[in-house]
Amino acid sequence: MLGNFVYCNPTKLYFGENSLDNLEGELKNYGKKVMLVYGGGSIKRTGLYDSIIAILKKCGKTVIEDGGVMPNPTSVKLEEGAKIARENNVDLILAVGGGSVIDYSKAVSVSAYCEDDPWEKYFIRFEDVSCKVIPVGCVLTMVGTGSEMNGGSVITNHEQKLKIGHVFGENVFPKFSILNPVLTYTLPKKQMVAGFFDIMSHILEQYFSGTDDNTSDYIMEGLLKSLIHSAKIAVKNPEDYEARSNIMWIATWALNTLVAKGKTTDWMVHMIGQAIGAYTDATHGMTLSAVSLAYYRYIMPYGLDKFARYAVNVWGVNAECRDKKDVAEEGLEKMGEFMREIGVAMRSSEVGVTEEIIPGVAKATLIMDGGYKVLTTKEVEQILRDSL
């Protein structure tokens, strides 16, 4: 654990099959006006919408609805939501959905009273929040982004062809999140496995960096092993409670700031994936899986020790009397086998990348400097070509 850091994560998590029972108690902590945020309406089909409306009514809340949050929430939608929150003077934003709905809700919470253009302030200039923040609570229906216990929010600006994330401080973290694994059962399989890979990618982005012997790396190896084990079960039987509950828990801890403490982190797979997403509107997790193997093969020589450790500790590769490079490559091969087994996109052409858009995607890719190799835009182009 190197460097000086602060850890603080005040989000209260209610976990389990009966966790929605806690919503009523939480609602008592907030005023009358609740802005109910959700996505494309699947919560209406599953009956969750009716259950939540009933709880809100029972608690005497005035409900202000803001549905139709898209998978990659846009800056235009954000402006509309901020206006709704401000004009209705809402006391709580209740996000019911997956990462997009929660990311959007957090963005609304810091934009309603923002004195500036929120997209410019938070996502272009990365400035801190300087206005009143509306509290956010969550009922999670889809796992992957970890948004239920962090300050992250990713917003897409179609006009500027940019998809950018801002990590807000703990005052923007959800006050509470309700995590019921059963609510994740209804998700279509493609979305489910995209979420699984998103979780895996969150861990790998934080794992593949640094040379120190850090406890966070050991925790991440545990999370990865549990994820791989449970994902294989869930893909065969999406209603295996134990597997789905483990995955839900791993998703939260993969991205609630814990495993990044005391080390550097990479995030280049997300930067490339988000740039693809801004061009193709493809499912987030699939854009990550589509470029991961090409990216990791490219940077492997710069972090060979860690890639060999990954092969041994996560994938059980036998390292005895073997060349480190062979061991590391076998680890990535096994990762590829796992990805094929759960059924995620293996190549960027599957998520809409073409030779024509590669220069644009590479140019839109934000270059981070925490990984084993600081890439040039030309190298991003190369990785995208390798991944086609």
Residues engaged in binding a copy of itself (CB under 8 A): 1-19, 22, 181, 212-215, 217-223, 225-226, 229-230, 242, 245-246, 248-250, 253, 258, 261-262
Q: Which is nearer to a copy of itself, 107 or 178 (CB)?
A: 178
Residue type, 364: A
Question: Residue 286 CB, nearest distance to a copy of itself (Å)?
Answer: 24
Number of Cβ atoms within 10 Å of the Cβ of 204: 23
252 sits in the region (left: phi over 0; alpha: psi -120 to 50; else beta) called: alpha
Question: Residue 199 CB, nearest distance to a copy of itself (Å)?
Answer: 11
Specify whether the CB–CB gap between 352 and 329 falls below 8 A.
no
Structure tokens at 95: 């996000």
Question: Residue 276 CB, nearest distance to a copy of itself (Å)?
Answer: 30
Q: Which is nearer to a copy of itself, 10 or 301 (CB)?
A: 10
Q: Which is nearer to a copy of itself, 94 or 223 (CB)?
A: 223
Packing angle, helices 377-387 and 268-280, rounded to 10? 70
Closest CA to 136 of 97, 78, 93, 81: 93
Question: Residue 136 CB, nearest distance to a copy of itself (Å)?
Answer: 16
Q: What does the alpha-carbon distance between residue 317 and residue 57 come to, in Å, rounded to a whole number?
A: 55
Residue type, 275: A
Q: What does the alpha-carbon distance between residue 196 and residue 219 come to, in Å, rounded to a whole number?
A: 18
Structure tokens at 196: 């699984």
Q: Which is nearer to a copy of itself, 12 or 363 (CB)?
A: 12
Specify whether the CB–CB gap between 64 and 33 falls below 8 A.
yes
Question: Residue 352 CB, nearest distance to a copy of itself (Å)?
Answer: 34
Q: What does the alpha-carbon distance between residue 42 and residue 292 come to, in Å, rounded to a whole number?
A: 30
Q: Across-strand partners of 177?
A: 13, 138
Specify whether the CB–CB gap between 279 and 384 falls below 8 A.
no
Specify whether the CB–CB gap between 148 and 255 falls below 8 A.
no
Question: Does residue 138 sit in helix, strand or coil?
Answer: strand
Q: Which is nearer to a copy of itself, 186 or 257 (CB)?
A: 257
Question: Residue 155 CB, nearest distance to a copy of itself (Å)?
Answer: 28
Question: Residue 250 CB, nearest distance to a copy of itself (Å)?
Answer: 5
Q: Which is nearer to a copy of itself, 154 or 314 (CB)?
A: 314
Strand duo 162-167 + 152-157: pairing: antiparallel
Q: Which is nearer to a copy of itself, 2 or 54 (CB)?
A: 2
Q: Which is nearer to a copy of itself, 163 or 306 (CB)?
A: 306
Question: Residue 218 CB, nearest distance to a copy of itself (Å)?
Answer: 4
Q: What does the alpha-carbon distance between residue 5 and residue 215 come to, in Å, rounded to a whole number?
A: 14
Under DSSP, the state recorded for 366 is P
Structure tokens at 187: 């998700």
Q: Which is nearer to a copy of itself, 8 or 321 (CB)?
A: 8
Question: Residue 172 CB, nearest distance to a copy of itself (Å)?
Answer: 16
Q: Which is nearer to a copy of itself, 19 or 42 (CB)?
A: 19
Q: What does the alpha-carbon distance between residue 250 and residue 307 come to, in Å, rounded to a whole number?
A: 22
Specify whether the CB–CB gap between 149 and 256 falls below 8 A.
yes
Question: Residue 10 CB, nearest distance to a copy of itself (Å)?
Answer: 5
